[in-house]
């Protein structure tokens, strides 16, 4: 008799990734247009960051565009650069808007609802950094 052993997987939460909330934005618009739309709609004050987010991919180091506000309230990071993806598990997402400060689920949902009103934005999702199992999620925090 050949008994198949059942494999049990346990997930050990990692304390290396800080907990923060971020929005996943789906839009066909380029990054500079999205930043302008968010600035007009939210008054975010996003500006192009001198230091882009650098990640190691299959083709070497790749830099993903980044926009930050004067106050560390918002950071907009592109998920795509050429054929490379920053967070592979969220490959359908075009941009990440990181919300500064203490994680507040209600604030994030209200912000997502507001961004959904922008006609050029197809969809907006709220993510928690601890539930996204990707090492590159920690790169979103500047």
User: Residue 36 has what DSSP assignment?
Assistant: H
pLDDT tens digits, 58-89:
677 888 899 988 776 888 999 998 888 888 88
Q: Which of 9-18, 78-87, 133-142 has the highest mean pLDDT?
A: 78-87
Please give the residue that has the higher pLDDT: either 134 or 118.
118
Q: Residue 95's Cα: distance from chain center in Å?
A: 6
136: nearest Cα among 91, 103, 74: 91
The reported pLDDT for the residue numbered 100 is 81
pTM of this prediction exceeds 0.85 = no
The predicted pLDDT at position 128 comes to 83
Domain boundaries, the chain: 29-140
Among the listed ranges 9-13, 19-23, 127-131, which one has the minimum average pLDDT value? Answer: 9-13
34 pLDDT more than 90: yes
The separation between the first and the last C-alpha atoms of the chain, rounded to the nearest angstrom, is: 56
């Amino acid at each position: 008799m050949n008994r198949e052993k059942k494999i049990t997987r346990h997930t050990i939460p990692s304390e290396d990734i800080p907990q923060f909330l971020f929005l996943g934005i789906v839009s066909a618009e380029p990054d500079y247009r999205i930043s302008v739309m968010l600035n007009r709609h939210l008054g975010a004050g996003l500006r192009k960051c001198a230091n882009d987010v650098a990640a190691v991919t299959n083709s070497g180091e790749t830099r993903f565009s980044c926009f930050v506000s004067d106050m560390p309230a918002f950071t907009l990071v592109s998920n795509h650069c050429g054929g490379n993806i920053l967070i592979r598990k969220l490959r359908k997402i075009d941009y990440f808007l990181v919300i500064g400060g203490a994680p507040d689920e209600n604030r994030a949902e209200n912000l997502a609802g507001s961004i959904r009103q922008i006609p050029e934005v197809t969809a907006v999702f709220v993510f928690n950094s601890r539930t996204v199992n990707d090492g590159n999620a920690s790169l979103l925090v500047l």
